[in-house]
Amino acid sequence: VVREAFERFAGRDVAGEVQAAPGDDARGGLRYRTRVSAIADAEGRASMAPLGGGDRVTLTSMPLAVAEAEEALLAARAQPGERIDVALDAMGNPVIGSGPSTRHASYIQRVPMGQGDQAYRLRLGDFWQVHREAPGLLVDRVTTLVDGGTVALDLYAGVGLFAVALARAGLDVTAVELQGRAKGSSLERNLAGLSNARAINADTRQALKKLAAEHTIKPGARIVLDPPRAGAKQATIEAICALEPSRIVYVACDPVALARDTALLEARGYGLAHVEAWDLFPMTHHVETLAVFDQDTSHA
């Protein structure tokens, strides 16, 4: 999937393999999800629709989920048609919600970082990596690939997974996320204790234009982005390159979108320097891919 995407949409050969997250081989690709969701059937129990349509099937197991999440999902009850969400907190306790209001339920997650770990405050409706190893693995890889620098811009920052790690590594960080609320977002709460980090609540493209006009981000900064599945696309890529970062670290859940954006970046003087892929969604066709683009580098 990764090789074909880069060959077809970026005109590039990509070597390497898709790596498994720690423990996945031993678990046979099962028991990795700490977050699961389903739709309540006519009796209020968790159910899913078969591939291709048909009547909903009441779940009797969820082998992709860690045991605590599976047990909570199967025991949950909700109004017919409502979505049931289950997430595990830092202690392995399930946080369960159904209906729109419960997606604001708060909990704590912890991510290995350096010699200890870092607490993140989340809401049930926030985006968070589903694989049990993904947050720590991605933080380690992204901070390694950023490889120094003094200023970082974290785009599509979510709850601040990368922004917090980069700030803890000593960089001055600006995190951009359209949070839907001016104050009290999970991103703002997670950055609150860091004097070298700030959050901007805005659409990514608008924020980039404002930062460029204000000359807030000087040439030579590092930029990290983890966009939605559709990718960053041309207008955002142009706005990123206008800031003249020295390095761009791109985290992608869709290799095709990444490959399309790779072609756009290379056309603007940012060469593909490194690609690595991780199987963070075992038993599916989805692949998490990390790419590094360096200014004025034309070959991997």
Catalytic residues: 253
Question: What would the two tokens of residue 229 be?
Answer: 């599945």
Q: How do the residues of the chain divide into helix, strand and coil, expressed in percent and rounded to 5?
A: 30, 30, 45
**Selection from 165, 136, 139, 140 nearest residue 152 by Cα:** 165
**Selection from 78, 161, 83 nearest residue 119 by Cα:** 161
What ranges make up the beta strands (E) of the chain? 18-20, 35-40, 46-48, 57-58, 83-88, 94-98, 106-113, 116-123, 151-155, 172-176, 197-200, 222-225, 247-252, 270-279, 288-295
**Selection from 48, 78, 76 nearest residue 64 by Cα:** 48
